[in-house]
Structure 1
Amino acid sequence: MQPKAIDEMAGPDPRRWKALALLGTAFFMVILDATIVLTAIPTMQEKLGFTMAGVQWVLTAYALTFAGLMLFFGRMADLFGRRRVFMTGLALFVASSIMCGAAWSAEVLVAARAVQGLSAAIMAPTALSIVVAMFTDSAERNRALGVWGGLGGVGATAGLLLGGLITDALGWEWIFYLNVPVGLVILALCPVLLPESRDRTASRGFDLAGAVTITAGPLLIAYAVIQAPESGWGSGRTIGLFTAAIVVLALFVFVEHRSAAPLVPLRIFRNRTLVGGNLLMLTVGLAVDGMLFPLTLYAQRVLHYSALQFGLMSAVMTAMSIVGAFAGQALVTRLGVRPIAVGGMLLIGAGGLLLVPVSANGSFAADMLAGLLVFGPGLGASFVAAQIAALSGVPEEESGLAAGLVDTLFNIGSALGIATVTSVAIAAGGVTVAESGEPAGATAALNDGLSAAFATVAVFAALGLIVALFLLTRHRPADVTDDAAVPESVTTAGGTA
C-alpha cells in the first residue's frame, strides 16, 4: 500500500523520527564528502599524477556543482515529488561514489566528483524539505532542525579526521566506496519510511536557465584564476575567460528578472543586511577552504605527516571554531551582528598571517598550532554573524530561499577560495608536480608557494572586514532575541553550512 502524501494526512506522521534518522544519515554523507577528501588530496596527487593546479579540481568540481544546482533541485523536488527526487539523487550519489573510487586517471576522478556534487545538490535540499514537511508541530520541527544542523557540523568536522584514518588504513579509494553500502541501505528504506509530498500550490515552472548560468559563471571564474599563472594574468585567454564569466553572470541577472518562476527572486536583495550576510558568508567560504587546502599540502607534502596525523591536528581548529560559534551566539544578541563579524574576520586574518612564516623544516607546534588556535574561533564567530544577518528580517515564506542562498554562497566561496590560493601558490613558488606526484622543484619552492597562499587568506579576511563594516547593521537584528538559537551548523569547519 502506497504511503499517503504528507499534505493529505490529518496528523503527524508516526514515522517522522525514523525518517529524520534516515535522511540525517544521507545528509551526513553529503557533508562528509565535502571535507573528507581534503586529507586524501596529497595521496591522490601522488597516485593519479595530478598537478597542483589539477588536484584542486577534486574539491572545486564538487563544490561548484553542489552550490550552483542546489536551489534548482530544491524547486524540482517541490514540483515533482520530494521522495522521488531524493531517491534519484541518492542513486546518482552511489553511482558517482563508485566511479570516484574506481577512477583510473585524474580526469575521470574530477568528472566523477562533479557528478557527485550534482547528486549532493539533489539530495541536500530535498531531504531537508521532507523533514520540514513531516514535522508539522513547530516545537518538534525546531528540535528536528537542531538535530539536522548538528549533523552538518559534525559531518564537516569529522570528515578531516575520518579522511585521514580511512586513507591511511584502507587507501584513498575507500573514502568513496564506504558511501555505497550506506547509500544502498538508505535507498531500500526510502519507500518504507518516507511519504511522497509536493507543493501542490506552486506553478509547474522551473528556472533551468538560471541554474545553468549561476553554475557556469563561478566555474569560468575558477578556471580563469587557475590557468592565469601559466597563460599570464594579462593574456587574451585569461581576459576572455573573465569576460565570459561576467557575461554569464549578467545573463543570470537578466534571466531572473524575466523569469516567471525565478530561481532567486531579485527582490530579496533589497534587504541590505541579507546582502551583507551573504557576502560575508562568501568570504568565510573563501577563507576556510582557502586555508585548509594549502594546510593539508604543507602538513603532508612539506612536513611529511601522515593523513591521519593531519586529521588529528586539524581537530584543534575544529574545537576552537565551536568555541567561537558559542561565544558569537552569546554576544550577537547583546552587541549586534557587526561587532561579531568584525571580530571574527580580524581573527581569521590574524590566523592566516600567523601561518605565513611556515618553514620547510618546521613542525606542527612551531608553525601550525598558533594559526589554527586563532583561525578557529574567528571562523565560528564569523559563521554565526553571517548566518544571522543572511536570515534576518526575511519573511517566513522566503526563509527556505534565504537559507538555500546562504549555503550556495558559502560553497561558491569555498570553490573560488581553493582556486585562488592554488593560483597564488603556483605563481609565488613556481610549483609544478611531475607525473610521479613528487614536487619537481625543491621543497622550499613548494613551501614558498604555500606561504603566499596563507597570506591570501588574510586578504580574503580583509574583504570580509570591509563587508562587515559597510553592509552589516550596527544594531541587533530585529528577529534575534536573547533566547534565539543559532543553528548548530555554525560549528561547521571546512564544509557546507
Structure 2
Amino acid sequence: MSFFLITLNASTVTTALPVIGRDLNAHAGLAWVLTGYSLVFALALLPAGAWADRIGARRAFVAGLTLFAATSAVCALATDLTILLAARAVQGVAAAVILPSGLSMLNATHPEPSERGKAIGRWSAAGAIALVIGSPLGGAITSAIGWQGTFWINIPPTLLALAVALGVPAAPRPQPVRRTSYRELVTAPAVVLSSATGFALNFATYGTIFVVTLFLQQDRGQSAWVSGLVFIPMTLLIIPANLLTGRLAARFGIRRTFLLGQFLMAAGLAGLLLGGPAWAFALWLLPLGIGGGLIAPTTTSLMLSGLPPTHSGFGAGLLNAIRQLGSAAAPVVLAPLGFRISMILSAIVIVAPALLGRKQCLPSSSPTADSTTRTPAATGSQS
C-alpha cells in the first residue's frame, strides 16, 4: 500500500502540472513540483533508511506516513508556487522514510527466503500498478475536481496504511553480536551485486524509454501520443513478472532468475536495433518489461538477504538511492550517443552484473536463513 502510494503520488501530479501552472500563475519553476520531490526523495533515502534502523522500522514508517498525509494536505491547500514547492520537498523526505522502513517491516515479517521473495514481488507489483494507472487517474481527477484532487487523493490510502501499521507489533530488536561499520556493509558481496544490478536496471530501462521516445518522434516523425502508446504493453507486463519472480527464484534459484531477466532485457535491446514500424518497437520492448519485472524484486530480495535485520532499512535505502542514480544518469549519458550506440551500451550495462554475480559467487539456489547469516555483514549490528 505504501509503495503504491509513493509511486502514485509522483505520476498523478505529472498530468496536473499545466493546470497548476495556470491556476497559480507560475510557469517558470513548475518543473520543480516534480523535480523537487524526486530530488529530495533520492537524496534522503540512505539517511532515512539508517534512521529507520536506529529508531525501529514501525516507528519510522508511522512517522513517514503521518508526515506524508500532512504535506499532501498542505500541497492541496497551497495558494502559491512557493508553498507548494516547499511542501513537495518535505513530502519527498516523508516518502524517503516510508520506503526503506516499509521494506524493513516486510523483511522482518517474512524471515523465510521464499516467502520474502513472494512478498517483495507483490510489493514491486503494487508500484508497477500505480505507475500504469497514475497518469490517466491524475488526468481524470484534475478534469473532475481540479489539480488539488491529485493531492487530496493521497490522504485516504495514507490513513488506511497508517491504521494497519499501528496494528503491526513492533519487531524485537536483535541482540548485537559485534559492531559493524557501514563500510563492511556496503562491501558485502550481496550488497555490491544488488547495488550494481539496481543501477543497471534503472539505467537501461529509463535510458531506453528516453532514447526510443526521442527516436520515434524526431527520426520517425511519430506523434507524442503514438510514442507513448508504444510503452504501455511493456509496462503492463512488469506486473505479472513481479508476481512471478518469487516462485521462479524459489524453484530455479536467484542466479537463473537474474540471468533470465538479463537475457530478456538484452534480447529486447538487440531487437530494437532492427528498427521497423511503431508496433515493432512495442513488440521488442516486451522482453524489457518481463526481464525488468524479474530483476527488480530479485535484486531487493538479495539486498535484504545479504544484511542483518538491524540494517535492512539501510540496505533498502541504499538500493533505491542507487536505482534513482541510474535513472538520473541514463539521459545524461545516452543523449549525445545516438540511438544505436545507446541500445548497445544499455545492453552491455544490463548484462555486466552477470559477470559480477559469477565473481561474487551468487547462489544458484534461493538463499536460506542460515546462508544469509554467514555473509560478512550479517554478523554485525547497528553501528
Matched residue, 1:160: 132
Deviates more, 1:325-334 or 1:409-418: 325-334
TM-score of the two chains, using structure 1 as the length reference: 0.55
Displacement of 1:113? 3.5
Q: Residues 88 and 294 of structure 1: is their aligned pair in 2 closer, same or farther, counting only changes over 3 Å?
A: farther
Q: Does 1:193 align with 2:204?
A: no
Q: Residues 200 and 276 of structure 1: is their aligned pair in 2 closer, same or farther, counting only changes over 3 Å?
A: closer
Q: Residues 405 and 347 of structure 1: is their aligned pair in 2 closer, same or farther, counting only changes over 3 Å?
A: farther
Matched residue, 1:347: 267
The CA distance in 2 between the partners of 1:412 and 1:287, in whole Å, is 12
Q: Is the 8 A contact 1:352 1:458 kept in 2?
A: no
Q: Is the 8 A contact 2:116 2:301 kept in 1?
A: no
Matched residue, 2:376: none
Q: Does 1:266 align with 2:183?
A: yes
Matched residue, 2:202: 285
Displacement of 1:94? 1.9
Structure 1 runs not aligned, ≥5 long: 1-24, 204-259, 429-450, 485-497
Q: Can you list the C-alpha shifts for 1:373-412, whole angstroms capped at 9, x where unaligned? A: 2432332344366456656765666556444432332233
Corresponding residue SS for 1:280: helix
Q: Can you list the C-alpha shifts for 1:329-358, whole angstroms capped at 9, x where unaligned? A: 369639746743641441353366467x8x
Matched residue, 1:370: 283
Matched residue, 1:407: 320
Matched residue, 1:183: 158
Q: Residues 102 and 372 of structure 1: is their aligned pair in 2 closer, same or farther, counting only changes over 3 Å?
A: farther
Please show how residues 316-331 of structure 1 align to structure 2 within 5 Å. 316-322=233-239, 326=244, 329=248
Displacement of 1:179? 0.3
Matched residue, 1:117: 92
Matched residue, 1:383: 296
Q: Residues 161 and 453 of structure 1: is their aligned pair in 2 closer, same or farther, counting only changes over 3 Å?
A: farther
Corresponding residue SS for 2:253: helix
Q: 2:122 aligns with which of 143, 150, 159?
A: 150
Q: Is the 8 A contact 2:60 2:97 kept in 1?
A: yes
Q: 1:97 aligns with which of 60, 68, 72?
A: 72
Corresponding residue SS for 1:268: helix
Q: Is the 8 A contact 1:284 1:382 kept in 2?
A: yes
Q: 1:459 aligns with which of 334, 338, 345?
A: 345
Q: Does 1:26 align with 2:7?
A: no
Please tell me the root mean square deviation across aligned C-alpha atoms, in Å. 4.8
Q: Residues 119 and 45 of structure 1: is their aligned pair in 2 closer, same or farther, counting only changes over 3 Å?
A: same
Structure 2 runs not aligned, ≥5 long: 370-383
Q: Is the 8 A contact 2:49 2:101 kept in 1?
A: yes
Matched residue, 1:275: 192
Q: Can you list the C-alpha shifts for 1:208-243, whole angstroms capped at 9, x where unaligned? A: xxxxxxxxxxxxxxxxxxxxxxxxxxxxxxxxxxxx
Q: Residues 150 and 279 of structure 1: is their aligned pair in 2 closer, same or farther, counting only changes over 3 Å?
A: same
TM-score of the two chains, using structure 2 as the length reference: 0.68
The CA distance in 1 between the partners of 2:15 and 2:90, in whole Å, is 21
User: Identity over the aligned pairs, expressed in percent?
Assistant: 28
The CA distance in 1 between the partners of 2:365 and 2:289, in whole Å, is 24
Q: Residues 196 and 390 of structure 1: is their aligned pair in 2 closer, same or farther, counting only changes over 3 Å?
A: closer
Q: Residues 75 and 482 of structure 1: is their aligned pair in 2 closer, same or farther, counting only changes over 3 Å?
A: closer
Displacement of 1:46? 8.5
Matched residue, 2:27: 49
Number of corresponding residues: 356
Displacement of 1:477? 3.0
Q: Residues 185 and 342 of structure 1: is their aligned pair in 2 closer, same or farther, counting only changes over 3 Å?
A: closer
Q: Is the 8 A contact 1:336 1:475 kept in 2?
A: no
Corresponding residue SS for 1:279: helix
Q: Does 1:472 align with 2:357?
A: yes
One-letter amino acid of the counterpart of residue 154, structure 1: A
One-letter amino acid of the counterpart of residue 260, structure 2: I
